[in-house]
Amino acid sequence: MTEFGIYGDLHVSLEGHVATAEIRRPPNNFFDLALIDGLVSAFTDLDEDDNCRSIVLCAEGKNFCAGAQFHNDGTRGGEITAKNPDGSPRHLYDAAFDLFSCKTPVVAAIQGAAVGGGLGVACFADFRVAAPEARFTANFARLGFHHGFGLTVTLPSLVGQQKALELLYTGARINGEEAAAIGLADKLAPLSELRSEANALAIEIATSAPLAVESIRQTMRGHLPNAIKVATDHEKEEQDRLRTTEDWREGVNAMNERRVPNFSRK
């Protein structure tokens, strides 16, 4: 395995035709714009490398991605906006659009938590290999918040509309076995074998004719970038609106204080 490149907190290596992209923000691997932009840069470079035919997306530490970290005042622990080189604003969801526009198939290896936006990152991948100990949670409503990262599009496509509504309305937490049962995870593997199982699936994909895989992927997923753009534009508006409410502040405080929130509809 040879090092392909370092993109901030994302380390990428390449062995044969399979790249491994490891997020290194342990133990929780909280995400922000910089991390998603790192994924975009890495995956764009891998798209342009003829040796790369599939990617394993994994994370160092206890959790795959525990979402965005919130402070007690409800602000995020990492930046979600920045400036493009031309001075125009760049939002986290602009990066999400770019990420969904990348062309190489991705297999995510999910250990520990894939929570909130971290669930969105997991659902970006073509496939998810999960450990039984994995925890999948769309916990936005429990925070007084609206879901994001295109889950409006990706989650129903994986688990169906009704199960997606249940997960989004309740913020229920499900483990790897439950995720596999409803189609959120494609394969289940012991934690000790998680990466090898994800790598085996990536190798199997890489063994197929790359032009054919690229063509099939475009047919099956080519609509996603535009659908994600429409979804995230709406998700952002609702997130901005709800971030001004007392329920949002109560949800974040309750999470930080590990108690049941007392929402007031204000």
pLDDT for 85 beyond 50: yes
If you average pLDDT over residues 230-248, what whole number do you get?
Answer: 96
Band the pLDDT of 86: cuts 50, 70, 90: confident
Q: Per-residue pLDDT averaged across 222-243, rounded? A: 96
Would you say residue 71 has pLDDT above 60?
no
Per this entry, what is the length of the chain?
A: 266
The answer as to CATH 3.90.226.10 being correct for domain 2-193+209-256 is: yes
Cβ contact 106:122 at 8 Å? no
Give me Rg for the CA atoms of the chain: 18
Structure tokens that stand for 70 in this block: 């919130």
Q: How far apart are CA 213 and CA 104, in angstroms?
A: 9
Is the preceding omega at residue 27 within 30 degrees of 0, hence cis? yes
For the chain, which residues make up each domain, given as ranges? 2-193+209-256
pTM of the model as a whole: 0.94
User: What pLDDT, on a 0 to 100 scale, did the predictor assign at position 80?
Assistant: 78
Distance CA 184, CA 156 (A): 10
Mean pLDDT for 68-95 is: 72
**The predicted structure's pLDDT at residue 69:** 67
> What kind and span of H or E run contains 114?
strand 113-115
> What is d(CA 263, CA 125) in angstroms, rounded to the nearest whole number?
34
What Å distances lie between residue 181 and 116, 117, 130, 176, 186, CA to CA?
20, 22, 12, 9, 9
- C-alpha 233/C-alpha 167 separation (Å) is 21
